[in-house]
Structure 1
């Protein structure tokens, strides 16, 4: 277990439960998107922590409407709801990853997927959104694409993205190896 990661994780509740955070105060009209980046090797530890955090918020802060969007679960549900899941699995097995990615470009366009997330998780009505599973859905869904589209849907709802890689305050690098080549306006949750 990574002690420095534990120290960073333990700072999250105090940060996200402040009125300033939940109301997006002090952001200078910026959107309230926050990124908690971590070493990809710590994925299982972070998953456990997100489950703990969601449970703690539900029990001790029941007045808050918290939506946890696990992108892998959401992707599976989305494809299943549209009758694409079995077809996607068969296509990947028969023709490989490139064929699957090409076939899913249309159905997974953010103009379709983000409204689905919003409806499924009542995201725009939440007080706080936790988002995980970024590494599990790459390259079908890319973090910067989903964040870029979400900001127009969520308004001032704060979102915390748990990101297996590095975020330097301007750009993301998934797994510490795959640069996004896109600037993204978000804040580091815990340095």
Structure 2
């Protein structure tokens, strides 16, 4: 049983051993469920989370023996790259300043369709070519990317490759609460990486 009073730092220290374990990488013990995992953290710890990813987790994954193939996808950067590739970024910034957020969201519905984003992710980082896929930038990408919708769109595309989303907020095993405030009223099934 996990102590519910663990500190953020204690939980951080459990990430690396967990995601490099054979059980995690081979989806063992999940009862035939898809290996989608969420590491939730307090939104106010965003900078510490980024630092831990950059200075501890990614360097350790790069040095892991046997070699571990992984893709780290920053969802915010994915959106920016997509808009730049379609020569829309400057237009979107102008539209947001002139007409507001609602007009931007309406204009980008087709471009940022979560099914299309899921397809883009798997075309850039083929699940069969990696042992693990990691998502960051969830808070920065909101509301252009909706976590539960994107994860649902990725379910049929990831095959047996585990996916780990770093999530600034709460996940109770059923629904995601971004920034501990915004609740998706959708049931979503993933596993908590560190309770």
TM range (shorter): over 0.9
3-state SS, counterpart of residue 182 of structure 1 = coil
* Contact 1:22–1:127 (8 Å) recurs in 2: yes
Taking structure 2 as the reference length, the TM-score comes to 0.93
**Aligned partner of 2:170 among 166, 173, 186:** 166
Q: Choose which of 88, 102, 117 in structure 2 pairs with 1:98.
A: 102
- Measured in 2, the distance between the counterparts of 1:121 and 1:38 equals 25
1:155 equivalent to 2:159? Answer: yes
Evaluate the alpha carbon distance shift between residue 62 and residue 105 of structure 1 in structure 2; reply closer, same or farther with a 3 A threshold. Answer: farther
SS of equivalent to 2:77: helix
* 2:150 corresponds to which of 118, 130, 146: 146
Q: State how 1:61-100 maps to structure 2 within 5 Å.
A: 61=65, 63-100=67-104
Point out 4+ residue stretches in structure 1 off by more than 6 angstroms. none
Listed as ranges, the gaps of 5+ residues in structure 2 are 1-5
Match of 1:50 in 2: 53
1:36 aligns with 2:39: yes
Which whole-Å deviations, capped at 9, do the CAs of 1:125-164 have from their partners, x for residues lacking one?
2100111111001111110011001111101111111000
Shift of 1:123: 3.7
Does 31-40 or 43-52 show the bigger shift? 43-52
Change (3 A) 1:181 1:150: same
Contact persistence 2:127–2:159 (CA under 8 A): no
Query: RMSD value over aligned CA atoms?
Result: 1.3
Asked whether the equivalents of residues 117 and 123 of structure 1 are also in contact (C-alpha less than 8 Å), the reply is no
Structure 2 match to 1:130: 134
- Measured after TM superposition, the shift of residue 111 of structure 1 is 2.0
SS of the equivalent of 1:183 reads: coil
- Within 5 Å, give how 1:165-184 maps onto structure 2: 165-184=169-188
Contact 2:74–2:136 (CA under 8 A) maintained in structure 1: yes
Between the two proteins, the alignment pairs up a number of residues equal to 189
* Cα gap change, 1:124 to 1:144, in 2 (>3 Å): farther
TM-score between the two structures when normalised by the length of structure 1: 0.95
Q: Unaligned 5+ residue runs, structure 1?
A: none
Does 1:13 find its partner at 2:9? no
By how many angstroms is 1:59 displaced? 2.2
| Corresponding residue for residue 25 of structure 2 | 22
CA distance in 1, matches of 2:170, 2:148: 13
